[in-house]
Amino acid sequence: MNRDFFINNRKKFAELMEDNSTAVFFSGNSPRKSGDQTYLFSVDRNFFYLTGIDRENMILLINKIAGKVTELLYIPPVDEVFEKWNGILLRKEEAIELSGVESIQDVGDFKTQFTKRLCSSNRPDNVYIVSYLVSEDESYDEYRKLSHWLRNQFPAMKILNSQDILTSLRCTKSEEEVEEIKTAIGYTKEALEFVMKNLKPGKFEYQVRADFEYQLMLRNSKPSFNTIGASGKNAVILHYIDLQDKIKDGDMILLDLGALSNNYASDITRTYPANGKFTQRQKEIYDIVLEAQEVTMDAMHVGALETDVNGAVKAFYAKSLKAINLIRDDSEVDKYYYHGVGHPLGLDVHDVARRDRIMQENNVYTVEPGLYIKEEGIGIRIEDDVWVTKNGVVNLSKDIIKTTNDIENFMK
C-alpha cells in the first residue's frame, strides 16, 4: 500500500487529538505458547493503520504540543543472534520508507525517553492509550501496563482513549482500503471455485477447509479468521470450527470464510449442496435467504440505522416463513434466525464500529442473513461484503456465484 495513506491516517489522528497530548501505540508481540515457542504474530490493527508496518515489538508516538505535531517510531535494534534464528529485522531506513515517520528510535530506549518527556517543561497534559472498553482493565496488556505505570508515576496525567478517534477514522474506508478488501474477496472467490469443483459426499469437513486454505496459500494469502465448514445439521451452529464430520450425500455444507490482503479482510459465506444438486426443500429455504439478502441491501443506505436494517430482515422472514407454514406467529422467527444481519468489515473481520451505528458513506459491511432449521438438518447463510456509497450500496463480492442455478451448473 502507498505510504501516503498511512501518513495521512496519522495526520487525521493528530488533527482529532486534544492539544498538549501524546498518543502511544503498540504493534504487539507474538503470544507465548510454551517454553521458547510462540503463536503466530498478528499485528495490532490500529498500529498497522497508522504505520503500514507489520512487525513485532514497535511503538509509535504521536505528540501534539502547542499545536505542533511530532512523530517517533521505536523499533527493535539490529541483533545478529536474533536474526540467525528468526529472520532479518527491519532497518531504520526501511521503517522510514514504509511509514514515512522520520524519527526512528531504539525500542529499548522508549521507557527512559518517555519518562523524560513526561517530566520535561513542555510535557503533555494527556496521554492517549488504546482502550477497547470503558474500563482500562479490559484493554490490551501493554496498554494496561502503561496505564497502571502512568497512574503510579504520574497521577496528575490524564489518560484518554484513542480508540474513539481510531474508530471514527477506520469506519470510513478510503478507495485504497476498498481495493484491498476487493483483492481479499478475489482470493476468496478463486479458492471457493476450487472448493466447489472438489466437493463431494464422503469428504470430511476438514478436507474442504484444506482445499480452501491451500488455494489461499498458493496466492500468498491466509484466512482472515477460523474457517467455518459445517455440513448438514452442523450448519445450525453459527461458529462451527470443529470440522470433524464426514459430509453426507444429500447434505449441504455451509462455508463461512475469508482471506486477507495486506491485513484487510474479506468475509464470505456460501452454502453448497455436497453432491452438486439442491433438493426441492433446500432450494425453497435457500431462495428465501437469498431474497433476505436483497431486502437487507435495499434497506441499507447512508443514514440508515443498523437496527432498522435488522428489523427489515426480520419482518421479511416473518412473512416468508409464515407463507411456507414454518411458523405461525412473527415472534417465532427467532427460532430459525438468531444473529444480526451484518457487521462492519475492514482491518478486523468484526471491524471497529461507532456505538450509534448509523451507516455512513464509505462504510463497509457484511450482509449475511441465514436460516437454521435444526429439526430438518438445514442451515443456510449467504454472505456478501458491501460498500455503502452515497449512490447506494455496492456489492463487492457479487462475482462469487450464489443462485442455486449458477451453483448447480458450476458443480456439474
Backbone angles phi, psi at 22, to 5 degrees: -130, 140
- CB-based contact 117:123 (threshold 8 Å): yes
H or E segment at 104? strand 104-106
- CB-based contact 205:229 (threshold 8 Å): yes
Q: How many residues bind Mn ion (CB under 5 A)?
A: 2
Q: Binding segment for Mn ion among 137-145, 177-185, 230-238, 266-274 (CB under 5 A)?
A: 266-274
Taking the least distance from each CB to Mn ion, the nearer of 231 and 366 is: 366
Task: Work out whether 267 is an interface residue with Mn ion (CB under 5 A).
Answer: yes
Taking the least distance from each CB to Mn ion, the nearer of 55 and 402 is: 402
CB of 269 to Mn ion, least distance (A): 7
CB of 388 to Mn ion, least distance (A): 16
Taking the least distance from each CB to Mn ion, the nearer of 71 and 267 is: 267
Q: Binding segment for Mn ion among 69-77, 167-175, 259-267, 390-398 (CB under 5 A)?
A: 259-267
Between residue 333 and residue 392, which ones bind Mn ion under the rule CB under 5 A? 366
Residue at 35: amino acid letter: G
Q: Which residues pair with 38 in a beta bridge?
A: 32
CB of 399 to Mn ion, least distance (A): 18
Q: Binding segment for Mn ion among 151-159, 234-242, 263-271, 390-398 (CB under 5 A)?
A: 263-271
Between residue 126 and residue 165, which ones bind Mn ion under the rule CB under 5 A? none
What angle is formed at CA 283 by the lines to CA 405 and CA 320, rounded to 5 degrees? 125
CB of 214 to Mn ion, least distance (A): 22
CB of 28 to Mn ion, least distance (A): 23
> In the 3-class helix/strand/coil scheme, how is 39-103 assigned residue by residue?
CCCCCCHHHHHHHCCCCCCCEEEEEEECCEEEEEEEECCCCHHHHHHHCCCCCHHHHHHHHCCCC
CB of 397 to Mn ion, least distance (A): 12
Q: Binding segment for Mn ion among 9-17, 111-119, 224-232, 262-270 (CB under 5 A)?
A: 262-270
| 182 CB-contact burial (10 Å; exposed 0-12 / middle 13-18 / buried 19+) | middle
Taking the least distance from each CB to Mn ion, the nearer of 252 and 349 is: 349
Taking the least distance from each CB to Mn ion, the nearer of 28 and 186 is: 186
Taking the least distance from each CB to Mn ion, the nearer of 21 and 363 is: 363
| 12 CB-contact burial (10 Å; exposed 0-12 / middle 13-18 / buried 19+) | middle
Give dist(CA 215, CA 192) in Å, integer: 9
CB of 267 to Mn ion, least distance (A): 4
Give dist(CA 69, CA 203) in Å, integer: 58
Contacts of 404 (CB under 8 A, 6+ apart): 278, 283, 286, 287
Taking the least distance from each CB to Mn ion, the nearer of 73 and 235 is: 235
Footprint on this chain of Mn ion (rule: CB under 5 A): 267, 366
